[in-house]
Structure 1
Amino acid sequence: MSFGPCWDMLVYMTEATDNPIHGARAKARCDALGVPPYSDQKDGLFRPYLGPAHHATLGCIAQWMDEAGMSVEIDAVGNIVGHYAGIPADAPVLLLGSHVDSVRDGGRYDGMLGVMLGIETVAFFHAQGRRFPFAIEVIGFGDEEGSRFSTYMMGSRSAAGLEQEIDDTIRDSEGITLHRALADWGLSVQRFGTARRQNVLAYLEAHIEQAPHLERAARPLGLVRGIASQYRYRVTFTGLADHAGTAMGERRDALAAAAEAIVSIEAVGAAGPDDLVTTVGVLQVENGAPNVVPGQVVMTMDIRAVTPGAREAAAGEIRSMLDALSRKRQVTVQVERIQDLQGALCDETLNRMLGEAIVETTGEEPPLLLSQAGHDAMVMARCAPMSMLFIRCAGGISHNPAESVTVSDVEAAFDTLTRVIEKFGEDR
Structure 2
Amino acid sequence: MINIDRLWDRIEELSNIGRTPDNGVTRFSYTPAEHDANELVKSYMQLAGLDVSYDTVGNLIGTKYGTEGLSAILLGSHIDTVPNGGKFDGSLGVLTAIEVMHSLQDQNITLKHPVKVIAFKDEEGSRFGFGMIGSRAVAGTLTDQDLDMKDVEGISIREALIEQGFEPKNIHSSKIDNVKVYLELHIEQGKVLENHHTPVGIVTGIAGPLWLKFKLAGEAEHAGATPMGQRKDPLVAASLIISEIEKIASKYSDAVATVGSLSVTPGGVNVIPGAVEFTVDIRDINEQLRDCLEKEIKDYAAKIVNERNIKMTIEELQRVSPVLCSQDIQNAIKQSVYELDYPVIWLPSGAGHDAMQFKDIFPLGMIFVRSKDGLSHNPKEFTAKEDVKAGAEIMLNTLVKLDKA
TM-score, length-normalised on structure 2?
Answer: 0.91
Identify unmatched segments of 5+ residues in structure 2. Answer: none
How far apart are the structure 2 equivalents of 1:51 and 1:252?
A: 49
Residue equivalent to 1:238: 217
Query: What is the aligned partner in structure 2 of residue 280 from structure 1?
Result: 259
For residues 155-170 of structure 1, what are the structure 2 equivalents within 5 Å? 155-164=134-143, 166=145, 170=149
SS in 1 for 2:82: coil
Deviation at 1:303, TM superposition (A): 0.4
Residue in 2 that maps onto 1:292? 271
* Counterpart AA for 1:284: S
CA distance in structure 2 between the aligned counterparts of 1:368 and 1:297, rounded to whole angstroms: 40
1:111-260 to structure 2, matched below 5 A, reads: 111-164=90-143, 166=145, 170-187=149-166, 190-245=169-224, 246-260=226-240
CA distance in 1, matches of 2:320, 2:379: 26
Deviations 1:348-387 (A, max 9, x none): 11111111111222x1341112222222222223321111
Return closer, same or farther for 1:290/1:316 CA change in 2, 3 Å cut-off. same
Quote the Cα distance in structure 2 between the aligned partners of 1:200 and 1:185. Answer: 28
Cα distance change, pair 253–49 in 1 and its aligned pair in 2 (3 A) = farther
Cα distance in 1 between the residues matched to 2:78 and 2:353: 9
- Measure, in 2, the Cα distance between the counterparts of 1:247 and 1:167: 52
Asked if 1:376 corresponds to 2:359, the answer is no
Distance in 2 separating the partners of 1:350 and 1:28: 29
The one-character-per-residue Cα deviations of 1:134-173 (angstroms, maximum 9, x if unpaired) are 1111111222222222223232222122254746763323
| TM-aligned CA distance change 1:295 to 1:194, over 3 Å | farther
Alignment partners' CA distance in 1, 2:148 and 2:175: 25
Rounded Cα–Cα distance in structure 2 between residues aligned with 1:359 and 1:121: 19
Establish whether residue 420 from structure 1 lines up as the match of residue 401 from structure 2.
no
Shift of 1:188: 6.0
CA distance in 2, matches of 1:183, 1:297: 42
Q: Is the 8 A contact 1:91 1:133 kept in 2?
A: yes
Quote the Cα distance in structure 1 between the aligned partners of 2:42 and 2:297: 47
Go from structure 1 to structure 2 and tell me whether the alpha carbon gap of 1:147 and 1:351 turns closer, same or farther (over 3 Å shift). Answer: same
Equivalent residue, structure 1, for 2:46: 66
Distance 1:71 1:179 in 2: 27
Q: Tell me how far apart the structure 2 counterparts of residues 104 and 374 of structure 1 sit (CA, whole Å).
A: 17
Please say if residues 28 and 127 of structure 2, whose CA atoms lie closer than 8 Å, have aligned partners that are also in contact: yes
Q: 2:31 aligns with which of 51, 62, 86?
A: 51
User: Percent same amino acid among aligned pairs?
Assistant: 35
Q: CA deviation at 1:299?
A: 2.1
Question: The residue matched to 1:242 in structure 2 has which SS?
Answer: coil
Q: Which amino acid aligns with 2:346?
A: L
SS at match of 1:327: helix
2:3 aligned to 13, 22, 42, which one? 22
1:242-293: per-residue Cα shift (whole Å, max 9, x none)? 322233333332322222221122122112x201111111222344221222
Q: Which residue of 1 aligns with 2:288?
A: 309
Aligned counterparts, 1:380-395, within 5 A: 380-395=358-373
The one-letter code of the counterpart of 1:81 is I
Partner AA of 1:356 in structure 2? Q
In structure 2, do the counterparts of structure 1 residues 239 and 26 end up closer, same or farther at CA, with 3 Å as the change threshold? farther
SS at match of 2:383: coil
d(CA) in 2 for partners of 1:184, 1:240 = 51
Contact 2:2–2:392 under 8 Å retained in 1: no
* Distance in 2 of aligned mates of 1:365 and 1:130: 28
CA-to-partner distance for each residue in 1:404-424, whole Å, 9 max, x for gaps? 112222112222122122222
Distance 1:193 1:206, change over 3 A: same
Aligned residue for 1:114, secondary structure, equals helix
Cα deviations by residue, 1:40-79 (Å, 9 ceiling, x for unpaired): x444222223233222211111111122111222223332
1:328 corresponds to which of 298, 307, 312: 307
CA deviations on 1:286-317 (whole Å, 9 max, x unpaired) are 44221222223332210011224011111122
The answer for the alignment partner of 1:75 in structure 2 is 55
Name the aligned partner's letter for residue 60 of structure 2: I
TM-score by length of 1: 0.87
**Can you give the 5+ residue segments of structure 1 that lack an aligned partner in the other structure?**
1-19
Change in 2 beyond 3 A, CA 1:226/1:234: same
1:16 matched to which residue of 2? none
Does structure 2 retain, via aligned residues, the 8 Å contact 1:93–1:137? Answer: yes
Question: 1:235 & 1:191 partners in 2: Cα distance?
Answer: 40
- Amino acid corresponding to residue 87 of structure 1 in structure 2: T
Report if aligned partners of 1:210, 1:396 keep a CA contact under 8 Å in 2.
yes
In structure 2, relative to structure 1, the CA distance for the partners of 1:34 and 1:323 (3 Å cut) is same
CA distance in 2 between counterparts of 1:111 and 1:422 reads: 22
Change (3 A) 1:195 1:329: farther
Which amino acid is 2:248 matched to?
Answer: V
Is 1:359 the equivalent of 2:335? no
Q: Which amino acid aligns with 2:5?
A: A
Contact 1:214 1:392 in 2 (8 A): yes
